[in-house]
Amino acid sequence: MVLYEVIVKGLVYGCMYALMAVGLTMVYGLLRILHIAHASIFTLGAYAGLLTANQTGSLALGILAAIVAAGTAGVLIYRFAYEPVLREPPHVAMIISIGLLIMMEDGFRIVFGGYGVAFRHNPWYTGTVHLAGINFTQAELAMVGAAVVLLGALGFAASRTRIGVGWRATVTDPQMAASFGVDPMRVRYLSFFIGSALAAIAGLSVGVLINYVEPGMGAALSYKGLAIVVLGGLGNVRGTLWAGLALGVIEGVGGLYLSDVLDRNAIGFAVLIAALMVRPQGLFGRARTA
């Protein structure tokens, strides 16, 4: 496998990282909460989509089910887990989030079994397409297409719509935004729903890509997602997108040359740790001044 092919394939996985990590950034930007349980939303979306697709034979209905299930779960987590502790120190919400991650992962294992579930209908991931000298599966192209469309739409909404302007205003100065008629509760609920829906689509995309969904599939992503958010600059959506894409490429290229020494996850974590040691505020964050 030549280097440029590895880079392109890395960008494919980077799109998945970006989809998943954007929700984390949105939550941190609004509430300054490290939403670790977001990784379980990723898994929930994968399960909801797979089970629906298996029952109906329709991947479109699976996508819809993933969005509804994950989006609803995200809103409920905010309402009943985070909202009551918003006035507490940030570590309280983080501890709650870690507990939710463990609880949901164990819940998936109890309900669905510990060995994972596969798609019964497989035309979505077996087909291949040859582009620019590289063979892509249909699932890979679909994941990239979904990331480009959804993140592009999110960027447009954030900059060109009333709701998006309200979200940015709430992140910058909640009290001032409220004085101009922006409902912060509505912004928070919508942010949790959208961020969770993006994570669900990422989770379902991975499930289709590997034809497998299992309870712990979000475990490594919970740590990667936090690292991506920090590397991109806490609360910086654009920085998070670039950091997610960079991580995918780094893991791909590192795996090409270092696979005998480190696995893909270890390579990614090693580079992220090194980058944060050099630039703790992240690639797109601002250094704190005394």
Domain count of the chain? 1
Q: What is the pLDDT of residue 125?
A: 62
Q: What is the pLDDT of residue 180?
A: 76
Q: Is 287 a domain residue? A: no
CB contact set of 285 (below 8 Å; sequence gap of 6+): 232, 233, 234, 236, 239, 279
Q: Is 283 a domain residue? A: no
Domain CATH number, residue 234 = 1.10.3470
The domain containing residue 67 runs over which residues? 3-278
Q: Is 12 a domain residue? A: yes
Q: Is 57 a domain residue? A: yes
Q: What is the pLDDT of residue 151?
A: 92
Q: Is 228 a domain residue? A: yes
Q: What is the pLDDT of residue 106?
A: 95
Q: What is the pLDDT of residue 237?
A: 85
Q: What is the pLDDT of residue 184?
A: 84
Is the pTM value of this prediction over 0.85? yes
d(CA 157, CA 166): 10
The three-state secondary structure class of 132 is coil
Q: Is 171 a domain residue? A: yes
Q: Is 285 a domain residue? A: no
CB 44 within 8 A of CB 73: yes
pLDDT profile of the chain (290 residues), mean per 10:
84 92 88 91 96 91 96 96 92 94 95 89 71 83 91 88 81 79 88 95 91 90 84 84 91 83 80 81 62
Q: Is 126 a domain residue? A: yes
